[in-house]
């Protein structure tokens, strides 16, 4: 009986967590609409062959980054990705760099943002 209860509890928690997932498009729309815009860096400032535009939003004391990324350096089209739970210091280090830092925005994006891709579908 105890095993049955544990299996039932596990399966219930699995289905509950599965139903709470959100699509990346829905999350993106929600954050852009409800979040506070903390700043945008456009392609002219980024000077990157693949990073087109990066915008940070704050919602419920958490930072979300929306990035438009080109699939290759020759493309005019971009794909939009959302990154969740970015530490404030990471956003600042990406946006402003650190003292004596010679890293490009692309290098800083890989260092401070890319590991925070949202767990959405």
Contact indicator for 68, 79 with CB cutoff of 8 Å: yes
pLDDT confidence of residue 14: 41
Residue 82: predicted pLDDT: 97
Q: What is the pLDDT of residue 1?
A: 53
Q: Can you give the pLDDT at residue 5?
A: 45
Classify strands 51-59 and 36-41 as parallel, antiparallel or unpaired.
Answer: antiparallel
* Span 8-33, pLDDT tens digits: 444 444 433 443 589 999 999 999 99
Any residues with CB less than 8 A from the CB of 112 and at least 6 apart, and which?
86, 90, 91, 93, 94
The 10s digit of each residue's pLDDT in 53-111 is 999 999 999 999 999 999 998 999 999 999 999 999 999 999 998 777 789 999 999 99
| Backbone φ, ψ for residue 93 (5° rounding) | -65, -35
pLDDT computed for residue 20 by the predictor:
54
63 DSSP β-pair partners: 58, 86
Helices (H) and strands (E) in the chain, counts: 5, 4
CB 26 within 8 A of CB 52: no
**pLDDT tens for each residue of 34-64:** 999 999 999 989 989 999 999 999 999 999 9
């Amino acid at each position: 009986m105890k095993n049955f209860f544990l299996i039932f509890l596990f399966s219930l928690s699995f289905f509950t967590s599965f139903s709470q997932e959100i699509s990346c498009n829905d999350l993106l729309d929600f954050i852009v609409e409800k979040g506070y815009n903390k700043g945008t860096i456009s392609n002219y400032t980024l000077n990157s062959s693949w990073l087109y535009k990066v915008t940070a939003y704050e919602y419920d004391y958490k930072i979300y980054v929306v990035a438009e990324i080109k699939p290759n350096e020759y493309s005019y089209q971009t794909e939009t990705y959302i990154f969740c739970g970015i530490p404030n210091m990471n956003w600042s280090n990406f946006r402003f760099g650190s003292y004596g830092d010679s890293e490009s925005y692309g290098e800083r994006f890989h260092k401070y943002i890319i590991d925070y891709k949202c767990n959405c579908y």
